[in-house]
Amino acid sequence: MSLIPGIVILLVTWWFKKMNFSLFVRIMPGIFTVIASIILFYIGLVNIRGFEGSAYGILAFYLIVLAVVSLVIVNKKTISKN
């Protein structure tokens, strides 16, 4: 389940980079993903316990991983073919 929002976040990040937006705009999908995953982890840990809470934790973990990938995409320099 976490691959669907992760792929959307990676596509939005790639699109922002392709459109040459400022660094702040390109970083925003990754930052929002980190904030959302922290909130999801907190909800799974405090409000929902048991198997459902662990599902929120797993979702939060994979969203953090995909947010890091998104931030790497933003910081990756393009190599010109000269």
- In this prediction, residue 78 carries a pLDDT of 57
When pLDDT is averaged across residues 39-57 and rounded to a whole number, the result is 83
Q: pLDDT for 6-30, tens place per residue?
A: 899 999 999 998 898 888 898 999 9
Place of tokens 């939060």: 60
Q: Tell me the C-alpha distance between 57 and 78, whole Å.
A: 35
Report pTM.
0.80
Q: End-to-end distance of the chain based on CA atoms, in angstroms?
A: 42
Q: What percent of the chain has pLDDT over 70?
A: 93
Annotated domain spans of the chain = 3-75
